[in-house]
Amino acid sequence: MDIELLKTFCDHSASRQKWMSELFSSEIYTYATNSKSLVRVNRINEVLNTVPESIQSALKDMTFFTDLEYLPLPEFPSHFWKECSICQGEGYVLVCPECRGKGIVEWRTAYNFYSDYCKMCFENKFVPASWRDKYELYQYNSTEDICPECLGKKSVFNNSDFMSVHNACLSVPELNRIKQLPDAEIAFPPNKNYVQFRFDGGEIILMKAKPEACNEES
C-alpha cells in the first residue's frame, strides 16, 4: 500500500484531534481518518502510532461488511469542476518571480522591516507558465512545472459539493480522493448511515451527508 496515498485521508487540520492527523495502527490493521471517511489496510509495521482506548473500542464496533455487491465508482458531472485558479487552466506554472515562491514580498528600510502579500501571485506562490511570454519574464530563470494544485488537470473540484449516488448523499472531494486508489469500488450496506468501498489493498467507510446537501441526482 502506498503510504503517502493513505496519508491523504488523514485530517491535518489543527481543529481536529491530534490522532487524526497521522496514520495509526490497532490490532491487525492500520487506519487513516478525517472524520468523514475511515480507511483500513492490513497492518503496516512501520506505523507505530496508537489511539486512545475509546477510539480502539469504536473501531471494534465498526462493521465492514463482507457480503456486499460492489459497483464501479460514479463519474462526476461537469459542474463539479472549476478552472484551477493557480495555473488559470493551463496545467503548468512558474515559481512566482516577484516573491520567489514565498507568497509574500519583504523589504527593509534603515529603521524597519516590512512584508506584504505578493500582488503578482496573490500568495499562491506560482503563476501560469504563459506569463513568461505575456509579461516578458525571460530574465527570470524558472522551469515550467506541473501545477501543484490541479496536478496538470487544469481543473479542480469545488470542495463544498455533494452528489447523490444511489440515493446516498456523498462528499465529492472524498469520492475524488477514493478514486485515486487502485481498483476502487462502492457498495451500499442496508440501513446504515455510511457506504463502503473496497480497493486493492484495503477498505473504506464513508459517512453519508444529510440528503438536503445534495442537489444533483446521479
Confidence of residue 217 (pLDDT cuts 50, 70, 90): very low
Query: How far, in Å, CA of 97 to CA of 77, rounded?
Result: 36
Domain boundaries, the chain: 85-153
Q: Tell me how crowded residue 85 is: count the other CB atoms within 10 A of its CB.
A: 12
pTM over 0.85: no
**N- to C-terminal Cα separation, the chain:** 31
Query: How far, in Å, CA of 162 to CA of 210, rounded?
Result: 10
What is the average pLDDT score of the chain? 87
Whole-number pLDDT of residue 139:
65
Ordered alpha helix ranges (H), 110-153: 131-134
Per-residue pLDDT tens over the stretch 166-184: 999 999 889 988 998 999 9
Per-residue pLDDT tens over the stretch 119-155: 999 999 999 999 988 887 766 667 788 998 888 889 8
Whole-number pLDDT of residue 15:
53
> What is the mean pLDDT of the segment spanning 153-166?
82
- 177 near 9, Cβ under 8 Å? yes
Distances (CA, A) of 172 to 88, 154, 214: 22, 18, 10
- 57 near 33, Cβ under 8 Å? no
Residue found by looking up cell 465498526 in the block:
62
What CATH class is the domain 85-153?
mainly beta
Q: Tell me how crowded residue 141 is: count the other CB atoms within 10 A of its CB.
A: 7
- 187 near 200, Cβ under 8 Å? no
**Is 70 exceeded by the pLDDT of residue 189?**
yes
Q: Grid coordinates in use for 203?
A: 477498505
Strand partners, 202: 41, 199
Per-residue pLDDT tens over the stretch 12-69: 664 557 788 889 998 899 999 988 999 999 999 999 887 878 888 888 778 899 999 9
Identify the sign of the CA torsion 123, 129, 132, 137: positive
Per-residue pLDDT tens over the stretch 102-121: 999 998 888 888 899 999 99
